[in-house]
Amino acid sequence: MRVADCPPRALARRLARGLVLEVGPLAFRLRTPFPEIAAHLHRLYPDHRLSGPDAFADWSVELLPGRGLRRRLRPQARLVVDGHEPFRPLPRGQACPLLEWGLNWCVYSQAHWWIVVHAAVVADGDRALLLAGDSGAGKSTLCAALLTRGWRLLSDELALLDPRDGRIQPLPRPVSLKDRAIELVAGLAPGAVLSDPVATDGKGWVAHLRPPPGSVARAREPARAAWLILPEVTPGSPPAVGGVGPGRALMALVRQCVNYTAVGPDAFERLADIAASVPAYRLRFDDLAQAAALVDGLTRHARDRAAAGA
């Protein structure tokens, strides 16, 4: 069953008892009494598959009310993962972003059977483009813009590399957008489905973009790294791109690998393979549409050759 096949009220009842949400190769057991989470899933995860509460799941994730008097005076949402609370409680109005951050936390802190790199990933066929960088570099925003130009979403936040062969596993979840990026992406794609913006503590306004149905349908199809771009939002700057050598590319990938030490030598070998074998660029930009067009141009020749079977 897909999320869209379950009406919102029925989905809320199932969430209160627990259900399993499949996201690519991962499964999350979700349980919450909050009806807004059902609405959030219905709006942003309609094409993802559901299983019953007894199905296998990689993590059990609960969103629960605050304790004591806060439950009534200042309603809160608590995130509980396998019995552990990784974050402090947040105001109830931030429950939906808290769920998304919690799912990210599960992956980057515990999924050490993959090499996890802080990078957005889109693909053309089985050729993946990695956008690696610190928070605020523009990864998710540029990722969203590329989706409007026909790229397939693998992830807006975490690249999952198989340590055996270096293939990148898709994890197509809603794309996180902040502040000005929300309006920019809405302007680029007037038909896009976005959550209502939420004012958050420390992250400004946050909204999420529904992943394209075609990306969710291909969530079991990995891709291989074909390009690496290190984006950097630079206010007032025209788009500018420059080549990056293998050494600097490797340093950037290692810096963004969140479990480099936990994975060990396999992480170095796979990241070094990527740095040595794919073209890498540093991209400074302010205008989102111009930056997306520039990335399309950088990759066009190789994509056309692949489409022609060269």
Residues 207 and 276 in one domain: yes
Q: pTM of this prediction? A: 0.92
Identify the residue with better confidence: 74 or 106: 106
What are the pLDDT digits (tens) for 276-293? 999 999 999 999 999 999
Residues 99 and 127 in one domain: no
Residues 160 and 247 in one domain: yes
What residues make up the domain containing 234? 115-309
Residues 56 and 167 in one domain: no
What is the per-residue pLDDT for 70? 64
Residues 62 and 154 in one domain: no
Whether the per-residue pLDDT at 310 is higher than 60: the answer is no
Q: Which tokens hold the place of 16?
A: 């209160």
Name the domain count of the chain.
2
Residues 84 and 50 in one domain: yes
What is the per-residue pLDDT for 69? 66
Residues 19 and 156 in one domain: no
What are the pLDDT digits (tens) for 175-233? 999 999 999 999 988 889 999 999 987 779 999 999 999 999 999 999 999 999 999 99
Q: Which of 31, 10, 9, 12 is nearest to 20 (CA)?
A: 31
Residues 102 and 123 in one domain: no
Over the Cα atoms of the chain, what is R_g? Answer: 19
Residues 141 and 58 in one domain: no
- Residues of the chain above pLDDT 70, percent: 96
Phi-psi region of 31 (alpha: psi -120 to 50; beta: other; left: phi over 0): beta
